[in-house]
Amino acid sequence: MKLTLKIWRQAGPDAKGAMVDYPIDGISEDMSFLEMLDVLNDKLIREGQDPVAFDHDCREGICGMCSLYINGRPHGPERHITTCQLHMRKFKDGDTIYVEPWRSAAFPVIKDLAVDRGAFDRIQAAGGFVSVNTMGNLVDANALPVPKAHSDKAFDAAACIGCGACVAACPNGSAMLFVSAKVSQYALLPQGRPEAKERALNMVEQMDAEGFGNCTNIGACSIECPKDISLENIARLNREYLVAEMTKES
Amino acid sequence: MSIPDSKVPEGPIEKKWTLHKEHLRLVNPANKRRIDVIVVGTGLAGASAAASLAEMGYNVKSFCFQDSARRAHSIAAQGGINAAKNYPNDGDSVYRLFYDTLKGGDYRAREANTWRLAEVSANIIDQCVAQGVPFARDYGGLLDNRSFGGAQVSRTFYARGQTGQQLLLGAYSALMRQVGKGKVKMYDRHEMLDLVVVGGKARGIIARNLVTGKIERHGAHAVLLCTGGYGNVFFLSTNAMGSNVTAAWKAHKRGAFMANPCYTQIHPTCIPVSGTHQSKLTLMSESLRNDGRIWVPKKIEDAKAIQEGRKKGRDIAEEDRDYYLERRYPAFGNLVPRDVASRAAKERCDAGFGVNRTGEAVFLDFASAIERYGKVEANVHHIENPSKEKIRELGMKVVSAKYGNLFDMYENITGDNPYEHPMMIYPAVHYTMGGLWVDYNLMSSIPNMYVLGEANFSDHGANRLGASALMQGLADGYFVIPYTIADQLADDIRTGPIPTNTPEFDEAEKNVRGRIDQLMNIKGTEPVDHFHRRLGKVMWDKCGMARNDKGLREAIEEIRKIREDFWKNVRVPGKADAFNQELEKAGRVADFLELGELMCMDALHRSESCGGHFREESQTEEGEALRKDDQFAYVAAWEWKGDPGKEEMHKEILKFEALKLSQRSYK
Ligand SMILES: Cc1cc2nc3c(=O)[nH]c(=O)nc-3n(C[C@H](O)[C@H](O)[C@H](O)COP(=O)(O)OP(=O)(O)OC[C@H]3O[C@@H](n4cnc5c(N)ncnc54)[C@H](O)[C@@H]3O)c2cc1C
Ligand code: SF4
Ligand code: FES
């Protein structure tokens, strides 16, 4: 396959960026999108140019490290997969492909296509946990049965890989889907209930402090989410938050 | 230096750990606040250790090279985690888990460590459930189990096909809780590039900030390496792209022994290589072997026809299929351990029976499982005389619920629908049993440096059973290190903070800068990957699933040549004091080029077959691996002597008290 790539190049956080054209040839259908970029980088290095920086690690859709806005969509045109799982057979010979970084005030660009998603870690540190220390003498794991329906729903929420596509997809740059997934996982499990209120309040507070936008129920986040995290979680977060706000002891 | 003491405590095996814990020294809470610990790595081992130590009161600095601790390679583990809970009431016990793990490792693990692993396994599940890890449950709300290779009981806990993700997110949440409290300081996008040894003790690291390129000094009273395995020395593996040996290798060069580096696990169920562009291989979880049946055609004509695209798997009649694992190993069938399954696949493909274009693939078939489940479902739903189609439809639903995400992943990568056609799989490098030598307390041969998780060598011998790596990482981090580290740190309650303006830090930083400058200044013609691919091919061909004397000697020569070529001709673009992913890769590949040689030397000296290490010279008449206990029942611990070719080997003789050595059989 022969393609024209239009890629966002930006030397550093404060540098001005621009789209740059790269024609590329000899791409096989079996390649993943990132392998196609490997081929481009190999060529650029040989030509004495600076290779394109992009984040990636597992290359199997689970670590959440890869990103990329491809032809105007986070993780590209296919639903329910990450960029590293996108294969070139989804494109046609002669296509022009636009590749940009996640765009959000809360995710500053580090270089080219790599952005800083540290805000997610800080939100997690604000309340995304159950306060239990490591102990050798906890109650037996089966002492407390959890209805399968609840544990399945908790799992659905826990499947979030923290990639940030939801933020990138949202016109407001809201992180509600990410935060709601974490809040929901714990809210649905008995182990998470004791701290449910503080968790919702603290995580939302941190989210706001990081400069993410407000949720106006557009739903683009869930459509573009590679793990199909449902909007139901946002509704649950709103409920949890409201109850916590109303019963807050001050 | 001779081999340090393994410090295995006295006493009967089932009491060793308890007695040992009771006699270890303690550090009181007020004094813990005066002690700093560096934890490199945020996988299951690192995140669980960092969180636990911080909860206890130590000041922890945590490092990883990814942009977030949550992305450590552990996240990718699919299948499950073992624990001797005996929930299914099928006769499991600590002893059985110990027995299976030691036998599975072909009696090349340290017995006392393996026992401890089995002993603490049940606690791990309790801990994770308390953290809110959503394990699979049955309709009664209790935890569900499945079987993995090398075991005849169901002791594997799982969270769909994302067990590693859920366990890691659990450990990560505990870690982040401590970050929020200020007890852990997080350094992501940082890479450790050297270990600092002061007065014979590990006292800090040199790290590069991967965003700015700044070289930093970090002092501490102890350093924990939880940096994962080195499977990427083969270039193609199921490991994440960034997984590397650098931290371990730098420590090795500072005096930490490297143990059994040749023990590599080649996983039998991976998606076959599709072309030269390939950057990594994808694992299809071992859990698929619970229900999938592995086969190749019986007749060579059929195999040829499939290779040439004239026939499909479906066209081969039942009686013309060779379910070779069921044939050779009736007792374990498709659930033999990984090394056995991988070699058997290679044997069939080498004999010409492979089932794809390259001849390097076998079928993993779910047709029987779909039919079997379909019939059960029909019964459950009281459907009388169900049609074939109905059975298939019902069966597909069950298979899809169990393995749906794996099937989707397969289809997405290969473009082939595995419900219609049997999957094609082939073995790929997956895990390294070898690693830095540690004693019973997980301390390396450098005092105050500890090694946890896949980075150490101790628990799996020459082959690891499925679902045991997650168990080991969490056992080390949650339940071993919190006890054992205090025994050493009790000496440091009056030491005070470790200064970093000392000659030892100067020297280490100079060393790191020197190597970076050297890499930047070669300005050759070939990108880093070029050398990595060449190294990988030599390793796979000559130090892979089968090894022999001649091949290993050739490999050593070839690796030396590639190394020389690398240091003359590699091209690292960009600048050293900036975000530079090629520079990161270059440093890692430079270390792989040294490690590869040591792996071949280790494989060469061990002229027996054991576990994942198969020496063609040492096999039975039926082609099964032949161990030589009279000569090789020891751990080979290698000491760096200034050059990869000059490493010196020390032996830790393995003593077996609880189990008698016997030749492994899965027949
Ligand atoms: C695809 C796949 C599936 C698997 N499935 C299973 C399974 O089902 N069950 C099972 O038991 N096991 C499984 N395994 C094996 C298991 O996942 C690993 O052995 C285990 O997770 C390793 O954990 P770890 O904590 O030792 O290291 P890792 O998770 O590899 O973490 C290494 C950490 O070290 C950091 N690091 C490394 N070098 C440096 C450096 N120089 N500087 C700073 N940081 C550094 C990394 O950033 C990372 O945080 C699987 C493995 C693979 C590849
Ligand atoms: S909710 Fe979806 S899109 Fe957002 S971070 Fe999680 S996985 Fe990514
Ligand atoms: S690289 Fe891990 S999800 Fe894409």
Task: State the best of A58, A113, A150, A186 to mutate against chain B, taking most chain B CBs within 10 Å.
Answer: A58
pLDDT score recorded for residue A242: 96
Ligand 2 centroid, distance to B226 Cα (angstroms): 27
**Which of A55, A89, A111 is the last residue before a domain boundary?**
A111
pTM of the model: 0.96
Section A50-66 average pLDDT: 97
- Name the residue of A32, A58, A68 whose CB sits within 8 Å of the most ligand 3 atoms, as the mutation to test its pocket: A58
Closest-CA distance of chain B to residue A200, Å: 15
Domain co-membership, A71 together with A157: no
Q: Could you tell me the CA-to-CA distances from A122 to A206, A241, B190 in Å, in that order?
A: 7, 19, 17
Cβ neighbours around B66 below 10 Å, total = 23
Q: Are residues A242 and A128 in the same domain?
A: yes
Instruction: Give per-residue burial for B564-603: e unless 16+ CB within 10 Å, then b.
Output: ebbeeebbbbbebebbbbbbbbbbbbbbbbbbbbbbbbbb
CATH number at A24 reads 3.10.20.30
Contact B283 CB / ligand 1 (< 6 Å)? yes
The whole-chain average pLDDT of chain A stands at 96
- Minimum distance, in Å, between the CA of residue A149 and any CA atom of chain B: 8
Ligand 2 near A160 CB (within 6 A): yes
Residue of A nearest to B528 (CA): A42
Same domain flag for A29 and A125: no
Q: B241 to chain A: which residues are within 8 Å by CB?
A: 56-59
Q: In angstroms, what is the span from residue B87 Cα to ligand 1's centroid? A: 28
Domain shared by A206 and A85, yes or no: no
Predicted ipTM of the assembly? 0.98
Q: What is the mean pLDDT of residues A94-117?
A: 97
When divided into structural domains, chain A yields a total of 2
Task: Please state, in angstroms and rounded to a whole number, the distance separating the CA atoms of residues A37 and A11.
Answer: 18
Confidence at residue B1, expressed as pLDDT on a 0 to 100 scale: 59
Whether residues B277 and A130 touch (CB distance < 8 A) is answered with no
A69 and A139 in a single domain? The answer is no
Q: What is the average per-residue pLDDT within A132-149?
A: 92
Strand partners, B145: B157
* pLDDT recorded at residue B402: 82
CB contacts under 8 A, B 332-391 vs A, are none
State if residue B81 touches ligand 1 by the CB under 6 angstroms criterion: yes
Cβ contact, residue pair A191, B126, below 8 Å: no
- Which atom of ligand 3 is nearest to A163's Cα? 3
Q: Measured in angstroms, how far is the CA atom of residue B161 from the centroid of ligand 3? A: 16
Indicate if A18 and A128 belong to the same structural domain: no
Same domain for A141 and A233, yes or no, is yes
Size of interface A-B (CB pairs under 8 A): 216
Question: 3-class DSSP state for residue B188?
Answer: coil
Which residues on chain A are in Cβ contact (under 8 Å) with B358?
A: none
* C-alpha span between A169 and B387 (Å, rounded): 47
Residue of A nearest to B280 (CA): A59
What is the domain partition of chain B in residue ranges?
270-429, 503-653
- CB contacts of A125 in chain B (<8 Å) are 176-177, 179-180
Q: Do A42 and B529 touch (CB under 8 A)?
A: yes
In this prediction, the residues of chain B whose per-residue pLDDT falls under 50 are none
Q: Is the pLDDT of residue A5 over 80?
A: yes
Touching A: B residues 119-148, CB under 8 Å: 120, 123, 125-132, 134-143
Confidence at residue B123, expressed as pLDDT on a 0 to 100 scale: 97
Q: Which residues of B459-472 are buried (b: 16+ CB within 10 A; e: fewer)?
A: bbbbbbbbbbbbbb
Q: What is the CATH number of domain B270-429?
A: 3.90.700.10
- From B477, which residue of chain A is nearest by alpha-carbon distance? A134
Instruction: Choose among A46, A147, A189: nearest Cβ to B527.
Output: A46
Nearest ligand by distance to the CA of B148: 1
Chain A residue closest in CA terms to B132: A191
Q: Which of B67, B128, B277 sits opposite A28 (nearest CB)?
A: B277
Ligand 2 center–CA A159 separation, angstroms: 9
Q: Which residue of A has its CA nearest to B572?
A: A45
Strands B190-198 and B201-209: antiparallel
| Residues A233, A182 within the same domain | yes
Where residue A12 falls among pLDDT bands split at 50, 70, 90? very high
CA of A72 to the centre of ligand 3 (A): 19
Query: Which of A44, A55, A81, A129 has the most B C-beta neighbours within 10 Å, making it the best mutation to test the interface with B?
Result: A129
Q: Whose CA is nearest to atom 7 of ligand 2?
A: A160
Please name the residues in contact with B274: beta carbons below 8 A apart, sequence gap of 6 or more.
Answer: A30, B414
Are the Cβ atoms of A145 and B140 closer than 8 angstroms?
Answer: yes
Strands B215-219 and B201-209 come out as antiparallel
Q: What totals of helices (H) and strands (E) does chain B contain, helices first?
A: 19, 20
Ligand 1: residue whose CA is nearest its atom 37 = B227
pLDDT at res. A75 = 98
pLDDT at B148: 80
Of the bound ligands, which one is closest to the alpha carbon of residue A178? 2
One domain for residues A12 and A53:
yes
Structural domain span for residue A67: 3-111
CA distance A54 to B667: 49
Q: Does B450 touch chain A (CB under 8 A)?
A: no
| Domain B503-653 belongs in CATH node 1.20.58.100 | yes
Last residue of a domain, one of A111, A138, A153: A111
Distance in Å, alpha carbon of B637 to nearest chain A alpha carbon: 31
DSSP A208: H
Residues A156 and A207 in one domain: yes
Closest CA to A241 of A194, A207, A206, A196: A196
Q: Is A162 in the pocket of ligand 2 (CB under 6 A)?
A: yes
- Ligand 2 pocket, A177 CB below 6 A? yes
| pLDDT the model gives residue A15 | 96
Atom of ligand 2 nearest to the CA of A175: 4
Q: How far are the Cα atoms of B358, B360, B367, B636 from residue B302, in angstroms, in the given order?
A: 15, 15, 19, 45
Contacts of A184 in chain B (CB under 8 A): none
Ligand 1, pocket-test mutation among B227, B280, B282, most atoms within 8 A of CB: B227
Residue A91 and residue A25 share a domain:
yes
Spacing, Cα B240 to ligand 1 middle (Å): 8
User: A77 with A226: CB under 8 angstroms?
Assistant: no
Q: Residues near B183 by Cβ (< 8 Å), separated by ≥ 6?
A: B54, B55, B57, B58, B59, B60
A132 and A64 in a common domain: no
* DSSP label of A110: E
